[in-house]
Structure 1
Amino acid sequence: MRYFRKEKNEFDWVLGVEDIASMLHLLGKALPNARTVVFNNSKFYQYKYDYQLPIKTGVLARILKAIYGPILLGYLANKSKNFWYIWTTGFLFNRESEFAFLKSIDKKLICHFGGDDIRSPQKMKAFCAEKGLDTFIDYVGAGHPFYLSENYETEKKELARVADKYADVIFSAEFEQISYLTRKQHYNPFLYDPSKFNFNPAKFENLSKIKIVHAPSNPLIKGTPLVRAAIKKLQIEGYEFEYVELQNVSNQQVLEHLKTAHIVLNQFYQLIPSVFGIEAMANHCAVLQSASLELEPNQPKSEPDSWVVTGYWQIYDNLKYLLDNPEKIEPYATGVIVM
């Protein structure tokens, strides 16, 4: 990589190399003079990037990355002064070697973590136990013992060590993504495309059949079994509503449902809204979620009625309240749009 001829910086930012919940795509649109690089983008989005592999998964993809990654890194290192990394992947398979190379030529690095990439399961389990809260950690660990193993914890310690050593700025959620990071953590920026805001008061004019949407990326982590239990109990009690559960569908299909949804059930073990929570609020929906300013105080302050704060034990009660008081649904939905 050092053999590339040094040229004048042409780009302000290189963003890569994994797009999590469209964050890289949105950053690419928000930051001036940026170039996006994605080697394994999500199957739920169909965005185009400045540099990407024709094959995203499998052995061939790893071979292509092993060849193309170092070449592209050397090229872009002579084109840009700032590198913004989302998640844990990079141009090379060894993150410390990659970061050491970039710092040796005076590049600025941002590490942007999004969840299980940096989160320590053991620390999260202890944090929730101290607060008297259940957590998804035990459930994931029951199905995947490695998740709670010392080897997995060692991986998280090493990732934090490298970020602490080389990053100029670190984005993470200090409590939701509790980790071994020792440096100052800036709260993850939540971005959303202004053209996709959908203020639709007309859908609240007829609430004879309230539409409820739940779209978990991971049912176990998001609290889907508890959502289904609440939905089933309300149906048995005679409540009439439309319940739509979306899994393994494109983001475009999710957004189409949000346009006509009245209530969205987001996630119930997490302390922050997540990208789906932002999407739901931007589409004029009343959102039930466990996001808590009390437990994750670093997230941006919001209006009191931006969403219905709902713990995993409150899904049935809070949903029943909105079904019993449908006039309250639109104020929650509208409060988000104008916050």
Structure 2
Amino acid sequence: MREPKKIKILHCPTMVGGNPQGLSKAEKSMGLDSSSLVLQKTFYSYAADRVLFDNNCSFIEREFLRWVEIFCVLKKNDVIHYNFGQSLAPNIIPNIRSDQKPWKVWLYNNLYARWVEFLDLKLARLLGKVVTVTYQGDDARQGDYCKQHYPVHFCHDVDETYYSLKTDIEKRRRIKIFDRYANFIYAVNPDLLNVLPERARFIPYASVDPRDWSPVPIQSTSEDSLLHIVHAPSHRDVKGTKYVLQAFDRLQKEGIKFRYTLVEGLSNQDARKVYETADLLIDQLLAGYYGALAVELMALGKPVICYMRDSDLLNMPDDMRQEIPIIKADPATIYDVLKEIIASRRSELQSIGVRGRRYVEKWHDPQKIAEIMRADVMTVFSKRGVK
């Protein structure tokens, strides 16, 4: 089917995990007119085509820029891919942070955000745009569901402000709004399909282009070399870092030789230099699925340890699930798994790394994922008689 000649695609409004930017880059390489827009940069600073807010913007300046941009987006684009369960319009603030004044939050919520929230989403459908949304984690994940269904999960380790009944209810409300207005709903983590509408679909991470990540051979596979283990927590409680450190401490007290690096507070470029020297990555021990970081390390040909929740993996395609090359561990088994690898399984690490690289090429290639999403979008255009 021939593409509409002037179809314009926009990914917005965040750069969470680099996933929207990865998709946009892949679409451009396929000859599509695609771009990515973020409201503001994050520490990780993935490459977006446009960043709307400057850090020095006042509230009035920021909101003026927001609404001018929304008008331009709705006028110029045919397809709008929202990500992280957010639209470009302001969101109600469900929980007051310690650095926020309650009366200001009340005014913001009740005199402003409540009346315009998701207005761009609603107008997009009214104007005939094709609208999709991709959920990526805590934009959909709810504390009450996790506590009820998952004995092993970071909901049991984070403090009481991370999840609350208030934020759970707010997430459910926002999901219902997207279910009403979005043509397609995707999730990059299989557990999210347990709390999203039935029509939501799993889609792999598209943040890592294997063409940009050449494999780096593992160096420390012989018994007389020090195995280099890397752990890179963006949030220690969420990633299960304390269990990783406890296992490291126990192994070291037993005289088992290895070295490890905790990667925190580094730019993407500096972190990648560390990853290239790794022999093994410990990703996350509580969430139940691997993260985008694991995809990066697998693209480098590095083996990965992660907790994989079997019940959630049923939400993935059967072939993808059966080919997962992850070494499984959880808080109760991470010590034993590491001890076995260091003592007797080093020779397997190279082959596991090779399998990981093949897995990324097959399942996480952004161009393949963008093609799936393009096919979905084209079903809408074809029903409208657009060829």
Q: TM-score, normalised to structure 2's length?
A: 0.77
Contact 2:188 2:205 in 1 (8 A): no
1:52 alignment counterpart: 51
Contact 1:289 1:311 in 2 (8 A): yes
- From 152, 157, 172, give the equivalent of 1:139: 157
Within 5 A, what are the aligned runs for 1:170-189? 170-172=185-187, 176-177=191-192, 180-189=195-204
Change in Cα spacing, 1:119 to 1:321, as seen in structure 2 (3 Å) is same
- From 13, 18, 28, give the equivalent of 1:22: 18
Identity %: 20
Contact 1:17 1:91 in 2 (8 A): yes
Contact 1:119 1:178 in 2 (8 A): no
Contact 1:303 1:335 in 2 (8 A): no
Q: TM-score, normalised to structure 1's length?
A: 0.87
- From 251, 255, 261, give the equivalent of 2:268: 251
CA-CA distance at 1:209 after TM superposition = 1.1
Paired with 2:11 and 2:196, the residues of 1 have a C-alpha distance of 22
Within 5 A, what are the aligned runs for 1:168-317? 168-172=183-187, 176-177=191-192, 180-191=195-206, 192-201=208-217, 203-204=219-220, 208-300=225-317, 301-302=320-321, 304=323, 306-317=325-336
Counterpart amino acid of residue 45 in structure 2: Y
Paired with 1:276 and 1:138, the residues of 2 have a C-alpha distance of 23
2:134 alignment counterpart: 112
How many residues are aligned here? 322
2:62 alignment counterpart: 65
- From 88, 108, 112, give the equivalent of 1:91: 88
Moved more, 266-275 or 205-214: 205-214
Paired with 2:174 and 2:53, the residues of 1 have a C-alpha distance of 28
Contact 2:244 2:334 in 1 (8 A): yes
Paired with 2:336 and 2:218, the residues of 1 have a C-alpha distance of 27
1:3 alignment counterpart: none
CA-CA distance at 1:81 after TM superposition = 1.0
Which gives a bigger RCO, structure 1 or 2 (Cα 8 Å, sep 6+)? 2
1:256-311 alpha-carbon deviations (Å, 9 max, x no partner): 11111001000011222110110111111111001345432223515556110112
Instruction: Say yes or no: does 1:125 pair with 2:147.
Output: yes
1:294-339 alpha-carbon deviations (Å, 9 max, x no partner): 4322235155561101122111111111101211221221221233
Paired with 1:182 and 1:64, the residues of 2 have a C-alpha distance of 36
Moved over 4 A (4+): 8-11, 204-207, 302-305
2:349 alignment counterpart: 329
1:147-176 alpha-carbon deviations (Å, 9 max, x no partner): 223x22220121111011111110125752
Change in Cα spacing, 1:295 to 1:302, as seen in structure 2 (3 Å) is closer
Paired with 2:189 and 2:338, the residues of 1 have a C-alpha distance of 29
1:170-223 alpha-carbon deviations (Å, 9 max, x no partner): 012575226643241111331212233232336256560110000011100000
The CA RMSD over aligned residues, in Å, is: 2.3
Counterpart amino acid of residue 155 in structure 2: I
Change in Cα spacing, 1:289 to 1:162, as seen in structure 2 (3 Å) is same
Unaligned runs of 5+ in 1: 1-7
Counterpart amino acid of residue 270 in structure 2: Q
1:52-103 alpha-carbon deviations (Å, 9 max, x no partner): 13524x7x36443311122112112222111000113332214432211111
Structure with the higher fraction of residues in helix conformation: 2
Paired with 1:160 and 1:201, the residues of 2 have a C-alpha distance of 43
2:42 alignment counterpart: 42
